[in-house]
Every structure is written in structure tokens, then in C-alpha cells.
Amino acid sequence: MKLNKFPCSEYYTVRFFLLWMILCSSPLFAWDSPRSMLSIEKKPFGMADGAAVTLYTLTNAEGNSVQMIDYGAIIVSINTPDRAGKRVNVTAGFDSIDGYLQRHPYFGATVGRFCNRIAKGKFTIDGKTYSLAINNGPNHLHGGEVGFDKKMWGVEELKGDASVGLRFTLVSPDGDEGYPGKLTTVADYVWDNSNTLTLTLKATTDKPTVVNLTNHAYFNLGGPGSGAIYNHELTIDADQFLSVDDTMIPTGQLTNVVGTPLDFTKPHKIGERIAELKATNGYDHCYVVRGKTGQLRRAAFVVDPASGRSMEIQTTQPGVQLYTGNFLQGNPGNANYKTHEAFCLETQHYPDAPNQPSFPTTLLKPGETLQEVTKFAFGVVR
């Protein structure tokens, strides 16, 4: 009789080990680590000004994703789950580049050189007055006729142990849209496994200039087709807002929110008092975020009771502009979003800061680096 060369216990140990190795190599038993599940995918998205536009999809270990394009450094979609685990896109965007090439409402765009308004399109640095495009009534808005939202950005992929992201870079030449100085802007968008999208904005210049950068995403936490955002419950960590004139330029006065429809120091439904804001057909106001400018702190928190989705915004910026899609027309040019079916919370410096000495400065000089951070953290309230 031929004896097995292995003792019985060792024989079964070897067989178990071999079986284990076979199972682990099978696709049915692919137990990927979080790092291996993180991914960046890209595909063509059309042409803009003769350049090929690319759609990037950032997917985290939970299977939730952010899509962006290099035209305008635009957020196309943010797909997050509700309390039942159903994912939908919670931002307004278009399915093709055509939507972004027409005059859209800055959906998801990285806005610059100066987001929001500059009175009469003029400001002065060191005694010299600069004139900008007048593209919003008598004022300059969101960087002019061809702002950063309408330019092709360079892209570099960012990969970490628990995140994936994109680094967008844009060089704006001296005199671009009337602004002085060659401005280099870097916008890092990083999507992590906790469903937080972190935006880090940096800028340098070779001449004194003014800069105010933001992202202009429109949100509806119920997803496309869910209707008006009136029942979204909003908290804004601000005790004051900027009073404005009839052209939406700040008067310089910081007004207490108490006793006004702008008081979101405690949660209120967005639609609860919106009808009182007849002059603007809804909210279009810049709030003074509590805490020290330059330090990351909470600016706002929003919950959609129907889906359970929530969003917390933290920022280093001094202000946040609440805008409730007051003029969305429900047509293809607005991705079929109607009035008050989406809202913006744009973290930023104050409107018209170059002409308001009492406001935090937006002046950037050679040798300095502007840096601002904003975090959009998505979650679920049970």
C-alpha cells in the first residue's frame, strides 16, 4: 500500500489552501479593497471652440459618482443615494456639450475671474481704473462675456487612498475681459469615500488684480423631476446679509437677518417665506458666514425631507450667496428646470468688494497666493 507523503492534517490544510486560492481568483469572489474600487473614467463629450471636450466620471468606493467636463471646469452631475439607497443626480446639468455652449445659467461652472457683480464694471488699483464688460443690467457679472465658465481648462487626474479627483488649470492672460495681470488659476475637485466633494481654489498673478472664485452648482436633493425646492429645509450659519440697491449692488450695510425672510439661523423650508421677496422673485442674497474668514467652518446645511438626502457646506470664504433659480424657464436651455426647482449656495467673497473698502479684500498681488476651500458633504437623514 502506497502511503500519502503528507500527514493527514497537513494534506487537508494544503487542499483547503488551494481551494481558497481558486475561489479568491474567481470574479464571483472578487473582494476589492476600497482603493481598487475608486475609479476615474473618461469619454468624449463633444467639441467646444474646436477643442475636444472630455467627460470625467469620479466614482468612490460606495459607487457614488461625480461627473465633470474640462470645458468651464463644470460639474455635470453628483449622484448620491437617498434613505432607500436610490441614487440620483442632485445637480442641474446637460447630457451633451450643446447645453453648455448656449447661454445657460452657469450650471455647475467654475466662475471667474470675479464671481457675482462689480458695480458699473469698474474698479481702481493704484490709481488706475479698469473697465469690464457690462453684462448684467448696468453691472459686470461672473467674469464677463467669456468668463472662466466658457474656457477650456487643463486637467490632471488625482488619486489617493480614499479619494479621486481632478486638478483643473487655467491661465488667463493680462487684459482678459479687461482684468489686469496674467492670472493662473488651479481648481482641485476631490471626491472621497464619505461622499464629500472638496473644492480647493488657488490663484497667482504677475500684476495686482482682483479675484473672486466659486462654483455655481444648482442643487435639488430630490433629483430631476422632483419639482420645486420649497420643502427643502435650510440652515445658514449667518446672522447678517448684505443689503443691496435695486441693481443688486451692495450698499455697504450688513443687515441682521432676525425678523426678515432671510433668517435661516434655524431650519426653515426654502418656500416658507419666498413669496415675500417680490423684488427678486426669490432668494438672491449674499450672507456673512459666521466665524473667521480663512478658517474652514460650516456655512449651510440642507435636508430634503422626502428623500432624506442632506448636504452640508463648509468653507473658508467670507460669504455664501443663496440663489433659488428665480428665472429658470423650464425649457431645454435650462435643462427643463423651472423657477425655484433648484438652488445655489455659492461660497465667495462679497459682491463689488473691489469698490467697498470695508469688505474683505479681493486684491491679489504678485508673490501672493489666493487659496479658498469649500466642502460639499452629502449624507442621509433617516
Answer yes or no: are the C-beta atoms of 308 and 380 closer than 8 Å. yes
Q: In a 3-state reduction of DSSP, which class is residue 14?
A: helix
Beta strands 297-303; 122-125: pairing state: unpaired
DSSP string, 138-202: TBEETTSTT-GGGSBPEEEEEE-SSEEEEEEEEEEPTTGGG--S-EEEEEEEEEETTSEEEEEEE
CA distance 382 to 379: 10
CA distance 197 to 207: 32
Q: In a 3-state reduction of DSSP, which class is residue 121?
A: helix
Residue with cell 476615474: 40
Task: Give me 217's grid cell.
Answer: 452648482
Neighbour-count burial of 342, counting CB atoms closer than 10 A to its CB (0-12 exposed, 13-18 middle, 19+ buried): buried
Q: In a 3-state reduction of DSSP, which class is residue 19?
A: helix
DSSP string, 245-303: -TTS-EEEEEEE-TTSTT--SS-EETTSSGGG-TTTTS-EEEEEESS-TTS-EEEEEEE
216 is catalytic: yes
In angstroms, the first-to-last Cα distance of the chain is 68
Active-site choice (177, 233, 346, 372): 346
Active-site choice (140, 142, 216, 349): 216
DSSP string, 307-360: T-EEEEEEESSSEEEEE--TT-BSSGGGTTPBTTS-BEEEEESPTTGGG-TTSP
CA distance 376 to 311: 6
346 is catalytic: yes
Task: Give me 150's grid cell.
Answer: 466658457
The set of catalytic residues is 216, 346
